[in-house]
Amino acid sequence: MNFKSPSFLKYLILSCFLVATLQLQSQDVEGFFSEITDRINNDPIKVSGGLSALSNFSQTTGIPDRYAPFNWSFNANLNFDILGIKAPFSFNYSNGNSVYKLPSYRFVGVSPSYKWITLHFGDRSMNFSPYSLSGHNFFGTGIELKPGKFRFSAMYGRLKRATSNDLNNISNIDPSYKRMGWGFKAGYVNDKDEIHVTLFAAEDDSTTFTPTPEIDIKAKENVVLEINGKKSLGSKLYFVFDVARSAFTSDISAPNIASASGGFKNVGGLIDSKVTTGYFVAGKGGIGFNVSKQTSFQFNYERIDPGYRTLGALFFNDDLENFTVSSTTSLFNSKINLSGSFGVQRDNLSGFESNTNNRLIGNINATYSSGNRMLVNGSYSNFRNSSKVSFKTDPFNPVDSITLALINQNANVSVSYSLGKQKQAMLTTMLSYQKATSIINEELQNDAKSDFVTGSLMYAYTFSESKLSLAAGLMANYNVLTNLETFFYAPNISVSKSFLQDKLRSSLSVAYSTIYLDSAISNKVFNLRAQSSYNFLKNHSIALGFGLSKNNSNNASNINSFSEFTGNLRYNYKFKAKK
């Protein structure tokens, strides 16, 4: 890469501030200084947010500890307002986790803002476009300026930290080089039209990881140049477009070759062409028509070259061409809301593969509300998108394990219905299905395809006068992970009640899970949870919780029977800035 250092970004950012200053001159300068003077005399500094301290302890018998016997953490989420400059700040510090050897502290970050100026420091995320930087977290600095109709954004930071073999073996994190990235986006927006130009680049530091025969990953490099916008053609018709050119080097240690000619063709000469460098294009366009305030249509076309990559996304789906029609509408006084997109997708655009797939693609989302009692929502999509999926065997724990996967199909339906004249009872049910392919080291694992089916049924009743709530339900989960089939179901009941004018609230829940592996019972798990929280001095609260889990395994299971006792003590303090 010709620009190894982001120093040239200084000139870009200075240019942004110059335009912003010119824009500021057209605003009410006298009012600006009057506002500052008023803040100096009245509440120059305002602080809101919250502080919390948490301690966890656990004791396990029968198997090695799954958690550290004792750990604690301190969290701060603060919103500073200094003379009108808003700076949200978050911080976490803990004594570490001796089981997984994770860092003992993490500086999350701060994003101060004043009027149309926003700065980013620490662990942040920014979104330039789907084909360049798309919500990828980075540790570094960034800036966003929105003076009038102009838009400017820039970032520089670490996209990935170097991950060693040892850490990979302990915590199941993909090994990687340290990856640095920078980007810049400039645009102009008015009431109906907009235009944006994006430049993004990222590069691995080949000195931060030593490949082994078992793990031989290559250091990569990437530059993306992109232009996108929208143009209105009258009051009802509009046109949208997005075109990106990506230069991607899969191995930066490969020999150099002569680069492509032309500014857009070689992405401005910002990358040294190597034997392993490829140049790819991705883009989409559409024509939309607003029939009314409730109904609209859009005709779309998207094409992504085989091999198109951007290091600004966790995973990118390539080698596809989509022709789709999308629409949104409301019916029966907005009781029914519909949105969807349908079309055709084909792959093997280069013709190098032995097979070409043509398939129907689409998504639909429908919502029905009767007004007071019933709410129904259903959705289905077979558009491919990367996401994090979870595997559950415990109804009380939000997640047992997480993996990055390419979702090939996704369907959900949920129904909630209020019972009784006072709506004291609520019946809810949910069913979801996902078909996915695992992603490891940014590569699809075609031999690791999975199906996830989750369903639940819950009935809850509240006694308003006594402030007592009862709930009973059933949760089930069926997963096919490569060649392993798992199923579990868990009936559960819970009770909660408020005391002392709602200052004290206590709850107790019990669940009994039966887990099957390949159609044979593997484990039976009993879970008991108790929690109490007490609010005092208006903004302070303290919570104490206990949990008991007993896992009984059969002789055929590879997991020993064990019992585990956990507890937690939490203190919270929340406060608001004075008006």
**Phi/psi zone of residue 84: left (φ > 0), alpha (ψ -120 to 50 degrees), beta?**
left
Give domain status of residue 508, yes or no. no
For residue 44, CA distances in Å to 36, 112, 510, 539 come to 9, 15, 51, 23
Which parts of the chain have pLDDT scores under 50?
1-6, 24-29, 97-105, 165-172, 396, 398-400
The per-residue pLDDT for 166 is 43
The per-residue pLDDT for 18 is 54
Instruction: Please state, in angstroms and rounded to a whole number, the distance separating the CA atoms of residues 524 and 550.
Output: 8
Considering its fold, how many domains does the chain have in total? Answer: 1
Give domain status of residue 158, yes or no. yes
Cβ-based neighbours of 335, under 8 Å, separated by 6 or more: 368, 369, 370, 371
Number of continuous H segments (helices) and E segments (strands) in the chain: 3, 28
Cβ-based neighbours of 497, under 8 Å, separated by 6 or more: 466, 467, 468, 469, 505, 506, 507
Among residues 578, 426, 402, which one has the least CA distance to residue 43? 578
Give domain status of residue 197, yes or no. yes
Give domain status of residue 156, yes or no. yes
Cβ-based neighbours of 28, under 8 Å, separated by 6 or more: none
Q: Are 106 and 113 in contact (CB under 8 A)?
A: no
SS3 category, 384: coil
Give domain status of residue 215, yes or no. yes
The per-residue pLDDT for 399 is 46
Q: Are 568 and 56 in contact (CB under 8 A)?
A: yes
Cβ-based neighbours of 65, under 8 Å, separated by 6 or more: 58, 99
Q: Could you give the dihedral angle defined by the CA atoms of residues 286, 292, 295 and 298, in that order, rounded to the nearest 10 degrees?
A: -10
Domain that holds residue 265: 1-42+115-318
Give domain status of residue 544, yes or no. no
Q: Strands 296-304 and 85-94: what pairing?
A: unpaired
Q: Which two tokens stand for residue 7?
A: 């120093």
Q: Which two tokens stand for residue 198?
A: 């994006």
pTM, entire model? 0.72
- Phi first, then psi, for residue 276 (nearest 5°) are -95, 15
The per-residue pLDDT for 381 is 92
The per-residue pLDDT for 528 is 95
Q: Are 20 and 545 in contact (CB under 8 A)?
A: no
Give domain status of residue 131, yes or no. yes
Give domain status of residue 343, yes or no. no
SS3 category, 255: coil
